Structure formats: C-alpha cells, structure tokens
C-alpha cells in the first residue's frame, strides 16, 4: 500500500489546482485521472466548443460581409477537417500544458486509471492500493442518454463525440433545447448544415425568463434553424440516407442526431458505498457548505457535487477548499453568486436571480430592460439582436440579477457580477463614468431606468 498526504480523484478544473497547492505546502499528493487531464472543459467542453464557435462565427461574418461593404467573390466554403484540427490543437495545447506542469512538480504523482474506494481512507487503481487521510473527488459528469424508442438502433452523437466530426452533416437533429444543444445548433447551421432543434419543454433554455427564451428562439430562427418545442414523443429509425426522427408533430429526415438532454455525474463506479459516502437520487455527491461529504476526510468538488456544473464554479470549489484547508479561511459555497453564459451568437450573460425568481422571493423589486437596438456600439457593429435586463431590490437598492443577451453580453455582464459581489448598490453603479463607445456604457442608463413592478 502506498501512502500519501492527499489523494485527488479526477483531473478536471478543481482537483489538479488543489493538488498543486497542497504540493506547494510540502505534501505528497496522488492525482488519479482515468482518461485526460483537464476534464470536460479542456477536452470536450469549453475550449474545443468555443473554438468551434469561433470558426462558425468567422463563416457567418464572411457570408454577411457585403453588409459592411466587403465583397467576397464566390461561395464561402467550410473545411471541416481544418475546423476540427484547430479545435483539437487548442485542446492538446492545454492538456499538454497540464502534463508538463505536473511532471515538473516534486511531490506530485499522476496516475492514469480508474479509482475505486476500498474504504474511507483507501482507493484502488490499476491493481495498486493507495491510502491518504484526505481524499478529494473531482470526477466530473457525462452526457445523459435518454431511453427513447429506437435510440439504440442509430449512431447518435453526444457533446463529446460531435467535436471530432470532420465532415459536415447534411441535416443535424439536436435533441434538447438547452445550452449545449443550442450552441451546437447555431454552430452547425453556420457551417452550412440544415438544423432542427427538438425540445420536450415549452420553451428553449428553460432556466431563463420567458422573454429571454423567446429572444433566443428568435435569434436561432433568424438563421434558419427549425425549432420544435413542447414535443412529448420522440422516436428514431434508420433510413436509407440517414435517420428518421419522428415526433408527435413532425417527421425529420436527419443525417446526424445530437443527444443534448443533460449530464449526469461520474459517481456510479467510484465505490461510494465502500466509503460510506452519500449521494442523491441523481448520483450527485452530497456536500455541506464547505464541500465536505458526510464522511470525515472526503470532499467532493466540481460537477459531481451538483453545485454549479460550470468550469468557473468548479474552479471556485478549488478556491473554497484551498482557502479553508490550507489558509485558515472559512469560505462557503452559499456565498457564491451564480453567473454563467450561453455561447450562441450573440451570447447571453447571466448573473443572480431571474425575474421569475425575484418575483417569487416576495421582495419589492424593480426591473429595467433596454433593446440592443438602442445601444450605440451594437449599431456601429451592425449587431442589434437581443436586449439587456436588470432586476433590483427596491428596498435595499442591491442588484438581484441581470441578463444581457446581445453583442459581448458574456463580457458586459461582468460589470454587474463585480458590483453584486462587492455589495454595491445600483445608485452607486449608476453614477460611474464608463468608456464610450462600448456596450458596457449602457449599464448606468439601464440602471437609471429601473421601475417598480
């Protein structure tokens, strides 16, 4: 049996950085990864997909360049092999960077293999047994495959496998109208494929307010994406030239099907029972406000604990654990103000409460909206789709939440994120003097238009 000061299972966006901090403190750490360092973000999520989004935007801009007085003769052609290779290069650069970083770190032992608990202080991997007083789980999540008629008879894609496509689908059917599915839908439409989105719920991006959801649908429809919501029945069958997707309201002749119906944690084969670690009915490991499980000496970080499922929340889990365990701090998950983005184009930046949540909270609230068509920078750039929205507490004057669906919305939202984390009241932010011409300069104007509801 090999002994360590700590064992980290999973090489995503929390565990490796925590392992590095512990090594800096002179600890002996084992980092176990069953496949690739970097987790979903580096290998099948943020980095490759946003690289693909950038290629798709380049195609979109080229096709619409005449609007800006730039004439490109001939048809805009897409080389999917180059597109794929570019995304793969970005992934490999990041992954190899992590490999090199850890290789030069005394006290770090990286082990590739499948780890399982033998007891609360012991794990087995590759036939060896390792023990440590502290064990951190950062095992991530994977796509959920729903039990739909005919699904096992077709060769479907997931968010992991679709990034390896080096040919253009004739017609891509996306099953699931949430964040992952919508990004791939627009991306492949811009590459030149016909695209249909099929969603069980009554609207796209169900987490968002109805006005945001409707605006997202308008953006996608304006680019020729076929959207089906409120679909109760879906079945698949092979056809002579692809896959038939039959719903209760439509029949789609697809060449490829992307299943984007959610994700589930990679906790079913960790041997949690042997360690006595409790998980919920969906497989998410139960943790307290400091990310500790019910078993002393075991913590769960990142997607597998169900508190965020984003790269930035996973990294924040590392920051919380490191601050509490190594720096004598007392940081809590409940102090985190959730923010995220949807990377369609234009992107959606989101922070805090939705309008629906704010109304349900019983607070006296104020709301302001502003269409991007009334943002000078958006008009200059010729990108006026979407709108800004902010919700504030009428009594405390604190900002409760905001949504910016529009050009650079994923960047502009950070001014509000920072204000909310600093506890700044909206009148104070209203009197800032932003740079002109920018999209962010409209934040004080947006706040000045807050009205009670």
Average pLDDT estimate for 193-211? 97
User: How many domains does one find in the chain?
Assistant: 3
Residues 9 and 114 in one domain: yes
Q: Where are the beta strands (DSSP E) in 256-398?
A: 256-259, 263-265, 298-300, 339-342, 348-352, 365-371, 387-393
95: Cα separation from own chain's centroid: 19
Q: How confident is the model at residue 330 (pLDDT cuts 50, 70, 90)?
A: very high
Backbone phi and psi for residue 56, each to the nearest 5 degrees, phi listed first: -65, -40
Q: How confident is the model at residue 109 (pLDDT cuts 50, 70, 90)?
A: very high
CB-neighbour burial class of residue 319 (10 A; exposed 0-12, middle 13-18, buried 19+)? middle
Average pLDDT estimate for 25-45? 96
Residues 68 and 130 in one domain: yes
Above 90 in pLDDT, residue 166?
Answer: yes
Q: Which of 261, 289, 306 is the endpoint of a domain?
A: 261
What is the per-residue DSSP string for 223-255? TT-EEE-S---EEEEEETTEEEEEESS-EEEES
Residues 132 and 274 in one domain: yes
Residues 251 and 297 in one domain: no
How would you list the strands of the sheet with 134-137, edge to edge?
Answer: 108-112, 29-33, 6-9, 134-137, 298-300
Q: Would you call 436 a catalytic residue per the annotation?
A: yes
Residues 6 and 138 in one domain: yes
Residues 179 and 208 in one domain: yes
Pairing of strands 348-352, 339-342: antiparallel
Structural domain boundaries enclosing 217: 151-261
Residues 86 and 62 in one domain: yes
3-state secondary structure of 361: coil
Phi-psi region of 101 (alpha: psi -120 to 50; beta: other; left: phi over 0): alpha
Q: Which of 335, 369, 391 is the endpoint of a domain?
A: 335
Do 55 and 83 form a contact (C-beta atoms < 8 A)? Answer: yes
* Catalytic site residue from 114, 228, 312, 436: 436
Measured distance CA(151)–CA(149) in Å, rounded: 6
Q: What CATH number is associated with residue 439?
A: 3.30.390.30
Do 311 and 13 form a contact (C-beta atoms < 8 A)? Answer: yes
Do 23 and 31 form a contact (C-beta atoms < 8 A)? Answer: no
Q: How confident is the model at residue 209 (pLDDT cuts 50, 70, 90)?
A: very high
Average pLDDT estimate for 189-199? 98
Residues 92-103 have pLDDT tens digits of 999 999 999 999
Residues 239 and 277 in one domain: no
Residues 32 and 120 in one domain: yes
Above 90 in pLDDT, residue 112?
Answer: yes
Q: Which of 261, 278, 311 is the endpoint of a domain?
A: 261
72: Cα separation from own chain's centroid: 35
Residue percentage of the chain with pLDDT more than 90: 99
Contacts of 102 (CB under 8 A, 6+ apart): 16, 19, 20, 31, 37, 108, 110
Measured distance CA(185)–CA(320) in Å, rounded: 35
Q: What CATH number is associated with residue 14?
A: 3.50.50.60
Count of CB atoms situated within 10 Å of the CB of 443: 25
Average pLDDT estimate for 411-440? 96
| Mean residue pLDDT across the chain | 97
CB-neighbour burial class of residue 430 (10 A; exposed 0-12, middle 13-18, buried 19+)? middle
Do 168 and 190 form a contact (C-beta atoms < 8 A)? Answer: no
pLDDT for 308 equals 86
Contacts of 12 (CB under 8 A, 6+ apart): 38, 39, 40, 41, 138, 139, 140, 302, 303, 314
Residues 375 and 303 in one domain: no
Q: How confident is the model at residue 104 (pLDDT cuts 50, 70, 90)?
A: very high
3-state secondary structure of 115: coil
Residues 352 and 410 in one domain: yes
Q: How confident is the model at residue 279 (pLDDT cuts 50, 70, 90)?
A: very high
Residues 52-70 have pLDDT tens digits of 999 999 999 999 999 999 9
- Helix, strand, coil percentages, rounded to 5, for the chain: 35, 25, 40
Residues 223 and 349 in one domain: no
Backbone phi and psi for residue 365, each to the nearest 5 degrees, phi listed first: -120, 160
Q: How confident is the model at residue 309 (pLDDT cuts 50, 70, 90)?
A: confident
């Amino acid at each position: 049996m090999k002994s360590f000061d700590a064992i980290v299972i999973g090489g995503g966006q929390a565990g490796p950085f925590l392992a590095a901090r512990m090594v800096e403190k002179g600890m002996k750490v084992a980092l176990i990864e069953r496949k690739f360092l970097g987790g979903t973000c580096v290998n099948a999520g943020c980095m490759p997909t946003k690289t693909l989004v950038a290629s798709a935007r380049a195609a979109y801009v080229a096709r619409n360049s005449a609007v800006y007085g730039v004439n490109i003769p001939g048809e805009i052609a897409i080389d999917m092999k180059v597109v794929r290779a570019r995304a793969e290069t970005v992934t490999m650069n990041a992954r190899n960077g992590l490999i090199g970083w850890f290789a030069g770190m005394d006290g770090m032992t990286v082990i590739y293999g499948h780890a399982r608990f033998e007891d609360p202080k012991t794990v087995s991997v590759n036939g060896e047994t390792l023990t440590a007083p502290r064990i951190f789980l950062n095992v991530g999540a994977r796509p959920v495959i729903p039990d739909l008629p005919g699904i096992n008879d077709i060769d479907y894609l997931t968010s992991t496998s679709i990034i390896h496509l080096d040919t253009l689908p004739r017609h891509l059917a996306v099953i699931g109208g949430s964040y992952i599915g919508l990004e791939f839908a627009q991306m492949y439409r811009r590459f030149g494929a016909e695209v249909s989105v099929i969603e069980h719920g009554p609207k796209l991006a169900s987490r968002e307010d109805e006005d945001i959801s409707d605006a997202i649908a308008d953006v996608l429809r304006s680019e020729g994406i076929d959207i089906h919501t409120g679909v109760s029945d879906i079945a698949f069958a092979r056809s002579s030239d692809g896959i038939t997707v039959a719903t209760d309201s439509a029949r789609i002749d697809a060449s490829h099907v992307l299943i984007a119906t959610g994700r589930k944690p990679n906790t079913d084969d960790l041997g949690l029972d042997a360690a006595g670690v409790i998980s919920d009915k969906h497989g998410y490991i139960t943790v307290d406000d400091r990310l500790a499980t019910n078993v002393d000496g075991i913590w769960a970080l990142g997607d597998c604990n169900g508190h965020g499922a984003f790269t930035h929340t996973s990294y924040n889990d590392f920051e919380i654990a490191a601050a509490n365990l190594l720096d004598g701090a007392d940081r809590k998950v409940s102090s985190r103000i959730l923010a995220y983005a949807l990377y369609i184009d234009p992107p959606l930046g989101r922070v805090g409460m939705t309008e629906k949540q704010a109304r349900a909270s019983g607070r006296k609230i104020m709301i302001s909206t502003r269409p991007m068509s009334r943002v000078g920078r958006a008009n200059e750039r010729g990108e006026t789709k979407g709108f800004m929205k902010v919700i504030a507490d009428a009594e405390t004057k604190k900002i409760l939440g905001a949504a910016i669906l529009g050009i650079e919305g994923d960047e502009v939202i950070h001014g509000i994120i920072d204000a909310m984390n600093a506890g700044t009241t909206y009148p104070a932010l209203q009197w800032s003097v932003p740079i002109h011409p920018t999209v962010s300069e409209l934040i004080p104007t947006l706040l000045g238009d807050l009205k009670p509801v």
